[in-house]
Amino acid sequence: MQNKQEQIPLWRQLLATAQVIQAVAEGQSGGAAVEAVAAELRPGVQALAFHAWRNLGRAQALRQCLAKRPPPPEVDALLCVALALAWKDEGAPYDAFTLVNQCVEAAKRHPATRPQANFVNACLRRFLREREALVEATDSDLVARWNHPLWWIKRLKNDHPQHWQELLAAGNRQAPMTLRVNALQTSVPDYLAELEASGIAAQVAGPYGIVLAKPVPVGQLPGFASGRVSVQDSAAQLAAPLLLQGLLAPQRVLDACAAPGGKTGHLLELGVPHVTALDVDAARCERIGQNLARLGLRAEVIAADAARPDLWWDGKLFDAILLDAPCTASGIVRRHPDVRWLRRETDIAQLAALQHKLLQALWPLLAPGGRLLYCTCSVFRAEGAEQVKAFLAHHTDGTLLPSPGHLIPAKSAKHATVPDNSAPDHDGFFYALLQKRLA
């Protein structure tokens, strides 16, 4: 018997996927756009949208070959979805003829695309006839080849001349499912044994991490509901241990910009007695509370702007501060492939200014001898190395301790940049550990 997902006509999913792709092109986040899709369509549409975003550069180049003038946005989105899903057989969710037939059917079914249904049919039938030649004609297009905006490609070439191709390739891979073991409840070897007993293949990924051979619903993870493990990328798992290493029994730690609370939970799991978790979004603060409740842990959660300590700070200095600053998320595009098409180059300067503002506001809250860990899930130097260099140039009471710096996403231990090479696959991140000199 077919499951419910298989009973939904493909044309409905393709039409909804095109609407999601168009929403991101117009400035809406992919998560919000997918959330707006009807519940019964949502799982299939998300999978198709992720595939489309990872191939959208090629699709746009192919569409330009098929139609020199851009068609109306709704038609353009539908064409690009069809081309992104069908341009190569490897990894395609359906065969090319099925995709084309169903996209034409989708065009006929919606008022905004119905007048252009014959145009959609003509473009896609030509694509089927000339697919090999059309793909070859777009091979020299950098955007088509790498499926990232041209400004993004150029910035990576400038920021990481030795690794830019590796970064772009990593951005198009599917991310693994990585777990963080709760050290208060179990150990990595013991939890690995639990997974094996449950028939879930996995391997060690760092001192607290385990990476699964393939993703599973969290409900299938032993002890997930009781907090034995959390889902967290290997690179993100470095934050709490890096901040705490070498500190003598820190009593007060601030996790600024803390939502959804993964790093807050890790700090508490490692024995910090008092953590203040701050986030500007009250709804996201609720998420922090929910995640901590699952872990059986508690923190002081405050909904406030970290850049305005006058509105929330009690005047007591912190022993350590974790600043996971808002950023372009350029290091996690494999998990959020919409980001590359959502971001604009001008966003970098705007976010860098916010990061600078947060560093300036939080540094006075740190006790002499204390440490501030500045991190972003970005691979752009303006949000990492350049930000820290500028900060230290104007804060002579700060010292940069040994830090990972820019972590290049890696798929094998040979290329891993996590310090001990024990994490075989991780997101792009930046870490700088700053210490305030004693008076």
Digit-coded pLDDT (tens) for 142-167? 999 999 999 999 999 999 999 999 99
Helix (H, G, I), strand (E, B) or coil at 264: helix
Instruction: Domain 236-436: give its CATH code.
Output: 3.40.50.150
Cα(416)–Cα(170) distance, rounded to whole angstroms?
A: 12
Mean pLDDT of 336-349: 97
CA distance to 270, 332, 373, per residue, from 245 (Å): 11, 26, 11
Q: Where are the alpha helices (DSSP H) in 198-232?
A: none
Residue 415 phi, psi dihedral angles, 5° rounding: -105, 0
Cα(427)–Cα(409) distance, rounded to whole angstroms?
A: 5
Q: How confident is the model at residue 250 (pLDDT cuts 50, 70, 90)?
A: confident
The topology under which CATH files domain 4-147 is: N-utilizing Substance Protein B Homolog; Chain A (1.10.940)
> In the predicted model, is pLDDT for residue 423 greater than 80?
no
pLDDT (0 to 100) of residue 422:
45
What is the residue extent of each domain of the chain? 4-147, 178-231, 236-436
Mean pLDDT of 304-308: 97
pLDDT (0 to 100) of residue 294:
97
Mean pLDDT of 380-405: 96
Cα(49)–Cα(28) distance, rounded to whole angstroms?
A: 14
| Known catalytic membership, residue 377 | yes
Catalytic residue, chosen from 103, 257, 375, 377, is 377
Per-chain mean pLDDT for the chain: 93
- Between 6 and 309, the more confident residue is 309
> In the predicted model, is pLDDT for residue 329 greater than 60?
yes
Mean pLDDT of 114-125: 97
Residue 324: both structure tokens together:
């996971």
CA distance to 29, 45, 78, per residue, from 21 (Å): 10, 10, 9
Contact 20/12 with Cβ under 8 angstroms?
no
> In the predicted model, is pLDDT for residue 411 greater than 70?
no
Mean pLDDT of 136-141: 97
pTM of the model: 0.92
CA distance to 208, 238, 252, 383, per residue, from 183 (Å): 7, 14, 20, 31
Mean pLDDT of 345-364: 98
Strands lying side by side in the sheet with 300-303: 300-303, 274-279, 252-256, 318-324, 366-376, 429-436, 398-407
The topology under which CATH files domain 178-231 is: Alpha-Beta Plaits (3.30.70)
Residue 384: both structure tokens together:
């990492």
Cα(422)–Cα(39) distance, rounded to whole angstroms?
A: 39
Mean pLDDT of 261-266: 97
- Give the DSSP H or E segment for 209: strand 209-212
Cα(428)–Cα(340) distance, rounded to whole angstroms?
A: 14
Among candidates 308, 289, 242, 312, which has minimal Cα distance to 270?
Answer: 242
pLDDT (0 to 100) of residue 415:
36
Cα(319)–Cα(325) distance, rounded to whole angstroms?
A: 19
> In the predicted model, is pLDDT for residue 306 greater than 50?
yes
> In the predicted model, is pLDDT for residue 2 greater than 90?
no
Cα(375)–Cα(388) distance, rounded to whole angstroms?
A: 10
Q: How confident is the model at residue 34 (pLDDT cuts 50, 70, 90)?
A: very high
> In the predicted model, is pLDDT for residue 413 greater than 70?
no
Mean pLDDT of 84-108: 95
Cα(206)–Cα(128) distance, rounded to whole angstroms?
A: 47
Contact 264/288 with Cβ under 8 angstroms?
yes
pLDDT (0 to 100) of residue 246:
84
Residue 128: both structure tokens together:
């089927």
Q: How confident is the model at residue 299 (pLDDT cuts 50, 70, 90)?
A: very high
pLDDT (0 to 100) of residue 3:
52
pLDDT tens digits, one per residue of 166-223: 999 999 999 999 999 999 999 999 999 999 999 999 999 999 999 999 999 999 999 9
- Give the DSSP H or E segment for 316: none
pLDDT (0 to 100) of residue 420:
43
Residue 115: both structure tokens together:
């007048």
What is the percent of the chain with per-residue pLDDT over 70, rounded to a whole number? 95
pLDDT (0 to 100) of residue 249:
81
